[in-house]
Amino acid sequence: MSAPARPESVALLEKFVAALAARGLVTEQEIADRQASTDRASPEIGARMVARAWLDEGYRRLLLANGAAAAEQMGVSMAGAPPLGVLEDRPGLHHLVVCTLCSCYPRAVLGYPPHWYKSFEYRARAVREPRAVLAEWGTVLPPATQIRVVDSTADYRWMVLPMRPAGTEGWSEDQLTAIVTRDALVGVALPRLPVAAAAE
């Protein structure tokens, strides 16, 4: 668990809000509205972009050429957001995304970054021992598979377009969206078939 903010930080936050509010710079309503809109962004958006790319070659090309434009096509506003790059996995090549300097993350299409993405351990180790990090997620790639680790920055955000798993032939966009997890979009995991579907 990430530690809760210390009481002095909670007090500082309230003094800060009061100082801003006294000058008409923020209101509680604005804060609540902004929080609600931020809460609405979720990895399901990125998952649907991946599913669509698996089904629609034209969309796949757009996604790889201009991730932000592909996100806009899904109804996501990318105004003011940095460009979104999309990294396509293929046989023998896997991508993993990290922000070594802090926590840069394509929030418009994946929502809040999880705590572990922002942790000192992930930031330090993803670039040095990616296989060991992946193993902690149960992701073990063949030794011959190259792992390309890409650093998201304040000016350019990345997400992964994983390979479509075998056994998903004929699946709908909704079915495919459901197997693309946030972890798969960061590259720490692969899309997996539910056990029941895999057994069919």
Which residues form the interface with another protein (CB under 8 A)? 1-6, 9-10, 12-13, 15-20, 22-23, 25-26, 30-32, 34-35, 38-39, 80, 98, 100-103, 112, 114-116, 118-129, 133, 136, 151, 154
**5 or 65, CB closer to another protein?**
5
Indicate the SS3 state at residue 120: helix
Active site residue 104: yes
Count Cβ atoms below 10 Å from residue 172 Cβ, excluding itself: 11
- Comparing C-alpha atoms, which of 165, 184, 183 is closest to residue 175? 165
Active site residue 2: no
List the catalytic residue out of 37, 102, 119, 172: 102
Q: How far is the CB of 77 from another protein (least distance, A)?
A: 12
Nearer to another protein, 33 or 173 (CB): 33
d(CA 83, CA 38): 18
Active site members: 99, 102-104
